[in-house]
Amino acid sequence: MGKDKGQSSGRKKLKDPSIINWATANNKTKKSVFETEIISQGDEPICWAVSTCAVLEGCFNITLDGSKHRIKASIQELLDYAIEKDADKIALQPVRLTNAWRQIDSHGLSQYDDYDKYKGKPQLSYQMSEKGKGVRLEIVSFEEMVHNDYKGGRIVKVKDHDIEQLLHQHPVVGGLKVYPSLRNWSGSNIYMGPTQEEFDAYKNMSLLQHSIAIVGFGIDTTGEEDIEYFIIRNSEGEEWGNGGYGKVIRNHKSMPSVFVCYSYPIVDLSNFPTEEEEM
């Protein structure tokens, strides 16, 4: 279970204190790959849309690095996809990350300036024919991994090492259980997972799953033993963590991954002309 940063985890000093952070200049693009500001979702259940759009625009901006294009995805259009009319009532349907990627895979997604501005919740007047008219963000496909899912004839596990390898190329959407200690996290210390008290209190309860963008990883070398961590981008406003970003434990010796699923897109650049084509 989680413990204070100063407690021993049995991990030896690490030789390579490398860091990748797609939210800062400390990456291959030399600048943040995110155009959308940190979002505060409040009481709206929209973390799935915020995290999906962050990773989508990040993947596009990494792939288009060096071109004149700078991508900002429309969270609002993705939210509006979730509206379904039913007789006299209009309800927001539960939408998992899988469905978000399927929607983008089938219909593409508008860029921010080509659609209604961000409202923070779905708009009830949305019609499929009213999609943004500019260059749409298309994907070839998407990949996802769900802990304890049955895939390829076997039970699969979410492993920090696999997420780490993907982060060398691009950010990733991650899902994790929301313990009170995570919801109220602040500062730049590393979140070590639920405390023993939290784990015992919630072990027989179904916790909400929260979606965030995993944007990098690093190593804290200030203690007696190095601690590996992931860098995440949340949707709880800039008051959460450190300016909306936080660190969560990575490769803990005695704990499974804090993430229960992850996913990412394979972007399609066919709508974006090359520099030679634009000349």
pLDDT of residue 37: 95
The rounded distance, in Å, linking the Cα atoms of 204 and 4 is 24
Q: At how many degrees (to 10) do helices 47-63 and 97-107 cross?
A: 50
CB count within 10 Å of CB 220 equals: 17
Q: pLDDT of 80-139, one tens digit each?
A: 877 654 434 434 333 478 888 998 999 899 999 998 889 998 886 555 545 557 889 999
The rounded distance, in Å, linking the Cα atoms of 81 and 93 is 10
The two structure tokens encoding residue 128 = 């499929």
pLDDT of residue 83: 63
Query: For residues 114-141, b (16+ Cβ closer than 10 Å) or e, as one string?
Result: bbbebeebbeeebeeeebbeeebbbbee
Q: pLDDT of 49-79, one tens digit each?
A: 999 999 999 999 999 987 888 999 999 998 8
Mean pLDDT of the residues in the chain: 82
Mean pLDDT of 214-242: 94
Distances (CA, A) of 194 to 123, 174, 182: 36, 17, 8
Is residue 252 very low, low, confident or very high in pLDDT (cuts 50, 70, 90)?
A: confident
In order, the DSSP letters of 56-87 are: HHHHHHHHTTTSS----B-HHHHHHTTEEEET
Q: pLDDT of 126-147, one tens digit each?
A: 555 455 578 899 999 999 988 7
Is residue 209 very low, low, confident or very high in pLDDT (cuts 50, 70, 90)?
A: confident
3-state secondary structure at position 106: helix
The rounded distance, in Å, linking the Cα atoms of 255 and 248 is 12
Report which residue type is found at 233.
Answer: R
Is the Cβ–Cβ distance between 176 and 258 less than 8 Å? yes
The rounded distance, in Å, linking the Cα atoms of 257 and 262 is 11
The rounded distance, in Å, linking the Cα atoms of 138 and 115 is 15
Domains of the chain, earliest start first: 20-266 (3.90.70.10)
Which pTM value belongs to this model?
0.86
Q: pLDDT of 142-156, one tens digit each?
A: 999 887 776 667 777
